[in-house]
Structure 1
């Protein structure tokens, strides 16, 4: 199945969370599905992420020319990111065992990249594209900064992870136009149904 990689698919706020959110309806065994089940979608996602994550990547393009060859690394980083931060949001702390898993997956993603990174250029300064798995590792590692966990949320509608960048830290939905409106419509429907039953 070809995925339409629209702006909504990048509601996580950073590349690593957008990637974690490529598993839809996590925790719902009957309805959950993986948008990366076809590794070719990794390459298509990387192209879209180059546009939708241009600020985070500081203009660097993402490269995934051989998605089948990097799929295991990408999926390992994705799953370790989701596990660490989903549990972190629930408990308010990051588990050492989950951190170790993420660090190992990120090390594999960075191995052999030849990139150099610095505090003022987290994705490097090269003009050439950065390997998707290396950029994904850098994005995931950046989430371990102290302020990230405090601003991370789980959308109550779709269960996606996202960074709340609202001024007062009160954002509920990963995307108000999609999940927020769905929840509002659902509440409205339930109220109308109760009114009909009470009549």
Structure 2
């Protein structure tokens, strides 16, 4: 399957969320796909994030993860997902917060520079922890990705209206028409 880092892949609204969203269909064992499991995709991510991430001005010119830091970077990704997903649904997330803070500290200590993907991701995650409006962080009603709802009335339901929103609406339309046709 051909894959490229398109603007939709950066719909999270923050670098840390885009990194967490690199696992497609995270909670579906049969459909789960880790984009960073393919070395070429992990290597291409920093350049794409430097152009397409909502934080590209803050974290432009990202350097790839050093090979010796790949495991800690993936641990950071999972800590980001674990903490923010629990926080969004209102579950006690103290343990996940401690894990995330430890993962951020480890990534920052190991990073060769502030412009490495692991350091920038840690900085982005730390910024999200302090987000002044935590209720703006949501889980997409279609794909399950994490995203920041920056809409004026905080009414976004999907990470990307052009992709997930259209899929949900098309699916509803299909089932409505199917119901009209069947006896």
Which of 158, 161, 176 in structure 1 is aligned with 2:161?
176
TM-score normalized by structure 2?
0.92
Taking the aligned partners of 2:111 and 2:36, their CA distance within structure 1 comes to: 22
Taking the aligned partners of 1:114 and 1:148, their CA distance within structure 2 comes to: 32
Give the 5 Å matches for 1:1-199. Answer: 3-53=3-53, 55-58=55-58, 60-64=60-64, 66=66, 68-91=67-90, 95-113=93-111, 130-198=115-183
Task: Note the C-alpha offset of 1:73.
Answer: 1.7
Taking the aligned partners of 2:102 and 2:55, their CA distance within structure 1 comes to: 27
Decide whether the 8 Å contact of 2:76 with 2:122 is kept in 1: yes
Task: Note the C-alpha offset of 1:53.
Answer: 2.6
Decide whether the 8 Å contact of 1:39 with 1:71 is kept in 2: no
Decide whether the 8 Å contact of 2:22 with 2:36 is kept in 1: yes
Deviations 1:6-63 (A, max 9, x none): 0000000000000100000111111111001123322201010001137454363100
Query: Which consecutive segments of 4 or more residues in structure 1 shift more than 3 A?
Result: 54-57, 112-115
Taking the aligned partners of 2:128 and 2:60, their CA distance within structure 1 comes to: 19
Taking the aligned partners of 1:158 and 1:179, their CA distance within structure 2 comes to: 7
SS at match of 1:63: coil
Distance 1:148 1:78, change over 3 A: farther
Decide whether the 8 Å contact of 1:80 with 1:102 is kept in 2: yes
What are structure 1's unaligned runs of at least 5 residues? 116-122, 124-129
Taking the aligned partners of 1:12 and 1:172, their CA distance within structure 2 comes to: 12
What are structure 2's unaligned runs of at least 5 residues? none
Task: Note the C-alpha offset of 1:164.
Answer: 0.1
* Correspondence for 1:119: none
Larger proportion of helix: 2
Taking the aligned partners of 1:71 and 1:175, their CA distance within structure 2 comes to: 28
Taking the aligned partners of 1:54 and 1:185, their CA distance within structure 2 comes to: 27
Decide whether the 8 Å contact of 1:84 with 1:94 is kept in 2: no
Decide whether the 8 Å contact of 2:73 with 2:107 is kept in 1: yes
